[in-house]
Structure 1
Amino acid sequence: MQIAIDLPNDFVAFQAVTDIQQEVRTSYALWLYQRERVTLAKAAELAGVSLYDFMGICKVNRIPVMDITRDELLEELKGFNLI
């Protein structure tokens, strides 16, 4: 599906159309993921990047990719004898 968005010429004059398209896809994927409407994997697919790269994008945008508290993580790690 394609969605058309009208943007002012002076807004897009300094960027290539493909760069704008990628930024919009990534921003929308982040928005959906942050609101728990898609999984991390689906958001990465929508953004057109690998899962690992999308996790990095989330980090840059301060969006957590793990829904676990510090104490829950420590309990999990104890089960693996890592702490």
Structure 2
Amino acid sequence: MALSYKARRRWALVILVVGLPVYILVASVLATWLNPSSFLVTLGLYVGLGIVWVLPFKSIFMGIGQADPDAPPEDDVY
């Protein structure tokens, strides 16, 4: 079952406000625990982890910045 536009907007907000800070903490702990030896390895680790978090939520974030496709059209009266 596909989520409605409003439900996707709400889930996107929850993911960004709650899930992303939690993921940042987990990624920081993971990077500290792995203790990469060079700057480039550390940079690659953080860039990789920065991209990986959004992949499961791609369908939720698609089209969120656009107008609601289910809303009735507004009459443009000048």
* TM-score normalised over the length of structure 1: 0.30
Please identify which structure carries the higher helix content. 2
Which structure has more relative contact order (CA 8 Å, sep 6+)? It is 2
**Structure whose CA Rg is larger:** 2
